[in-house]
Structure 1
Amino acid sequence: MPRSRHATDTQQKRLAHATHAVCCSCCALGLRARSEGWGCDVHQYLGYPCGHVFLTCWHQLMGILFISNNNKHGGDHAAILCPAENGPCSQQCTAVAGRTRCSCFPGFSLMTDGRMCEDVDECATNTHSCRPSEQCVNTVGSFICELQVTCPAGFQLRNSVCKDIDECVLQTHNCGMGFVCENTAGSFLCNPKHKCISGFTQDSHGNCIDINECSSLSEPCGSGFNCINTVGSYTCQQKIIMCNPGYHVSPDGAMCVDTDECQMGTHRCGVGQICHNLPGTYRCDCQTGYQYDALRKVCSDVNECWRYPGRLCAQTCENTPGSYHCSCTAGFSLAFDGKNCEDVNECDKNPCGQECANIYSSYQCYCRQGYYLKEDGHTCEDIDECSQSIGNLCTFKCVNVAGSYQCACPANGYVMSANGRTCKDIDECTTAAHNCSYGQTCYNLQGGFRCLSFACPHNYKKVSDIRCERISCPSNSLDCQNSPVRITYYQLSFQTNIIIPAQIFRIGPSPAYSGDHIVIGIIKGNEEGYFSTRKLNSFTGAVYLQRQVREPKDFLIDVEMKLLREGLGTSYGAQLLYVRTLFVMPPQNQKKFL
């Protein structure tokens, strides 16, 4: 509690005693410090007035005297005397121009006598620094700030604490004779001395009176009932409400609510119609895609495809009950909007055996080179170029491969040309790949070679590598005179399966003269009848192949030509060596090699 401005005598005595105790303790501290050798600068840490007393006693010049004066506290207080330094002044003394001037410590002011100092009341002079929520309390030479405490109603401040006021003990309550006071925090209650039965309550005089539940309770009855108060209780009576057609009483009986004929099924909408509830009634509407037929009083389907031709679907419009559906022709699919049609890329499903090209509304299958598209339009079949070729693909043999073909040559005697189609004969005689003996002559053949040697018959001499001439005959040798004048060796080759008859050799005199006449014939080597001779004119004869040669075969035939010139006859001989080739070609290719 803040102290009052006028302290009691007891309080003044306590203050004086406390001041005396402080001065003695601070002085004793100064004397001890001087005796133990401490410095005097310790006084700055003690505060006022203890520091001043400490410093004075440290100099051993201090005297303490309790004097009585009429200060503002109305009691005695300790005055500090310093006869050695302060002179006539009670606190501080200074000499100015040879004269004594007294002054006071902070918190004190010089009295009118110019010597004594009195305490300054900072609280009264409003020179304190307390906050608005604090109370200033003056002290000797200073002041203190105490927190102000305000107690609510029903409480009082005791020892700086708000404590409850017991109105029942202090008899400050207003309870009547029929009630008992009961203290509560900050207040009190008046409890009746005896209780009333249910439905009643006591008044201020202790009488039991009826409780009106209809007004005291928030909702004694439901919203559809009226509350009627009775003595000690109440009753609920249902309200009677009359509703218009299309409305009915709510479940709580409080109001009329709309009757939903659509939900209850009491409407009279026809089949296919939609019932829409309205306040007090309802409405029958046709479903979307239907229109009302006033004649038949029914909802009939709207054919949107007829009503909006060409405007609903990009391709085909199909009417459905209450709506329509768009569809697309083959090769198209319905777009996301359900109306337009998009081309279907059938190639994404790999319908073709090899290549697929998407086209508008369809697709086309293609085959790679060397294949042909079968009748199903999807599958690719390899082309057998060897069997179907009209032209000449290979000179010897055609081998079909997947998607193409390859040409092959006989295993021996030929190599493939750079064009990959024709076979080139290997000249074994030139490359010295033959095995002919020294006395034989190597003759290259298509696909091989022959080692041939011939000697002139008796009575002939060899005039060249292929020709022998008759030596003069004795006059008596008729056989010698009938033998050929000249024998010439020819090597010929022709193809197997050649088309017959085929002319393979011609013979005639050189030079020929008008009137010449020849006779040609095969005198040896045609036992199997493969060859025949013909006279082309009077001076030219020819040898023909008249029988098909199915397999490679060698022939050695002697052909004789007799020349009749100017009545004289001369015969000439030719030995023909026909060596087969290894080409066995189909008939359409034979002409090329004739």
Structure 2
Amino acid sequence: MSESLFINSVSCCDCGFGIVSDSQFPKQALSVGDVDPAANSLEDLERDDRCQRFAALCHHTCINTRDSYLCACHPGYTLLQDARTCVPENQEEDNRVSEEDMLPTVPPARQETTTQKLALYNPCAGNGPCSQHCSVVRGLAQCSCSPGFSLKADGHTCEDVNECTSGRQNCSRDEVCVNREGSYQCVRLNEMCDEGFILNQNRDCVDVNECVTNTHTCQADERCVNTVGGFDCERQILCSSGYQLRNGVCEDIDECVLRTHNCGTGFQCQNTDGSFTCNQKQRCLTGFTQDSHGNCIDVDECQAGTHRCGEGQICHNLPGSYRCDCQTGYQYDAIRQLCVDVNECWRYPGRLCAQTCDNTPGSYQCSCTAGFSLAFDGKNCEDVNECDNNPCSQECANIYGSYQCYCRIGYYLKEDGHTCEDIDECSQSIGNLCAFQCVNVPGSYNCACPPHGYSMSPNGRTCQDIDECATGSHNCSASQTCFNIQGGFRCLSFACPDNYRRVSDTRCERVSCPNFQQCQTMPLRITYYQLSFQTNIVIPAQIFRIGPSPAYSGDNIIISIPRGNEEGYFSTRKLNSFTGAVYLHRQVREPRDFLIDVEMKLLRQGTFTTFLARIYVFITANSM
């Protein structure tokens, strides 16, 4: 049969340690100077244990005492006169035993003789108790020192001899003795310090005071003045009687002030140049006094503090007297007889200050109200431009005596009248500002589209679908077909089943059928279709129509969905004898893909022919 199908599809698109020693010689004994001779406590005895400090003091046993130590011997031995060495009480028996020990029949163990024991004991082993040299004298250790050192009182320790202070040096007068460890050195003065300096005990060059050492060359009428590294000779100035030398100048001596005059009672001393005179005193009037020359001069009661002006009054001296006046800003109260403050603000209302007058003790002060500042003249008030101090978070307008804050577009002024808060247009908008998503930004808002499959329209509010199939931004293989959907794309493969051949990109036709029964049940033609709708499509919606083309009188069709409608989202309806339709009669809430087979059986002239429409139905999200 060569008839074709009439097919019409409907789609909606609006929809981050060693040991540290205190001495150079670690084996030296404790100095005598370090021990208190009067110490008599057990604590001191234990602290200075000579037996423990010097292990070689005694031959056998050492017993420590408060000031020294004692040696003791083992039983069968006696202590020699050196108070340190022990020998057997019966030396002959000891020698006999020693001889027996040499016999071959006696076991190898033998005892040493006294002579052998004394020979084995060396009190100077390891330098003994000496810090420098140790010698054995009569079986005892005797300490000595190297040249330039002397043995201390403890008999063990050596200390350096200061030849420079002990008088053992032989330096000449023009040389200085410098002590060294175990020796000394003579250094010439001219080699150590410059002329005018001398080497002191600390080996520092210090200035020589030629005036004190009398090594200067000043004459009898000259005075020696020491300088650093030398001296100066200054000529002496002799002053006449009645004068004294001060700062190199002869000045007059005031005998009247120093009271070295001889004027009697009733006479006034008057100083003269180099001497003085005695003048008879004269009587002066009240308020005057006689000076050193016998003249009557005015007494300044104000300066002398002998006036009787009250508190807050000013004393003015007058010849022979004084006057008491009130300070500026005060007036005299005759009743209370004191100076009281004058309230200038009350006395001259509206004449002193432009705005506010405040009385102060003895004066007044002008001030201004808020929004104004006192002018340079201290009287008038000038408007303050508060906007210079940035009181507003955004815009500020200065007005007379005050200011006003304003906000930019996209902000509103908070109740404090200073702070501007951003307006969230996305949450406060009545209508939909953006088709997909509104993003609030400081002072405005922006519209955004889904991250994939959409681009922003030129109006900045709506999103338009990107046709990946047209732009080539899909990832379909060469054997697949790209189909664009809202917000994405699908890669589709069209394969024909066995016993079918592909006649176009979307159509397969049956090659043959083995028998009549299969020819009626196997589809003559399989055609692929793609439909795309949005989740907000109005239900029920006719999405596909199918029928023979051309149609003839007497044709009759049967429409069904044999596969892909297991959940019952779709249904079919026969519109007339040769036209059928497919409906979406359940709302799809989320984006989803369907593949349904729509089968049409055509009864024409007593024969059934089957046609199959394999339809991809893509349900996408609402348009942006």
TM-score range, shorter chain: 0.3 to 0.5
What is the TM-score when the length of structure 2 is the normalising length? 0.39
What is the TM-score when the length of structure 1 is the normalising length? 0.40
Between the two structures, name the one with larger relative contact order (CA 8 Å, sep ≥ 6): 2
Q: Which structure: larger Rg? A: 1
